[in-house]
Structures are given as structure tokens and as C-alpha cells.
Amino acid sequence: MFGVTVRDHMMVAHSLRGEVFGPAQGLHGATFVVDATFRGDALDDDGILVDIGRATDELRRVVAELSYRNLDDVAAFAGRNTTTEVLARHVADRLAEQVAAGALGPVPHVSAVVVTLHESHVAWASYERAL
């Protein structure tokens, strides 16, 4: 299995509902390093799985939709806690939409995308979805 990973980051504000979150129940900021890995079993005739430049551009577009926003006010997250896991899934789903729309060009061998959000150097969460 081949994998091509591109990276960006986002800074957001949010609050989390539920006593399990302790002080994170209050509005606070978070900065995430965002990795998107495109996976597939084969390469195209040029020897690539996905164009790194296009993948970088699309990740940047998806991350820009959330950056510098209070996620408590984003309709896509209404009634949901914006945990790291939920955000990873959201980014993966948006990237999957971009792949389906052809924004990354022809990527006949890309079969999955994995998004990992790093909260810090010691903690992160991922979501993997088939394409």
C-alpha cells in the first residue's frame, strides 16, 4: 500500500459539553497540525499516487474553512462536540468530497484517506475512510 501525506495546521476556538471535559467545557483555543494521507495499492503511469501539490492545495482549502473560527458557531457541528476525533472525520469527509469532484485530478488508485489531527507532540487522533 502506498501513502502520500501532506500537512497543514489550523487554529480554532470551541467549547466541549459534558463534565468529562473538565475545564475544556469553557471556550478555549486549540491549534492542530493536520496530516492527510492518501492511500492506494498502485501508482499511475507517471509513478505517482496523487499530485502532492494538488493534495496540499485541497487540504489547505478544507482547513481554511475552519481556521480562525469558533466551531461552536459552525452549522456543520450544531449539537455536536468538536472533539479531535470529530474534527478528523470532518476533514476526511471534506477531502473525500474533493477527490470525488476531481479537485485532485485523476487519482484512479487512491482508495482511502486518513486524516490525523495532532493536538500536541504527545497526543493525536485519526479518522480513516474509504473512497
Q: Which pLDDT belongs to residue 82? A: 97
Domains located in the chain, CATH noted: 2-37+52-130 (3.30.479.10)
When pLDDT is averaged across residues 40-44 and rounded to a whole number, the result is 97
pLDDT score for 67: 98
Burial (CB < 10 A; 0-12, 13-18, 19+), residue 2, is middle
Cα→Cα distances 124→15, 98, 115, 127, Å: 18, 24, 10, 11
Could you tell me which of 104, 94, 103 has the C-alpha nearest to residue 40?
Answer: 104
Greatest distance between any 2 Cα atoms in the chain: 53
* pLDDT tens readout for residues 56-110: 999 999 999 999 999 999 999 999 999 999 999 999 999 999 999 999 999 999 9
Q: pLDDT for 19-32, tens place per residue?
A: 999 999 999 999 99
Backbone conformation region of residue 22, classed left if phi is above 0, alpha if psi is from -120 to 50, else beta: left
87, 117 Cβ separation under 8 angstroms? yes
pLDDT (0 to 100) of residue 121: 95
pLDDT at position 4 is 98
Output the pLDDT for position 41: 97
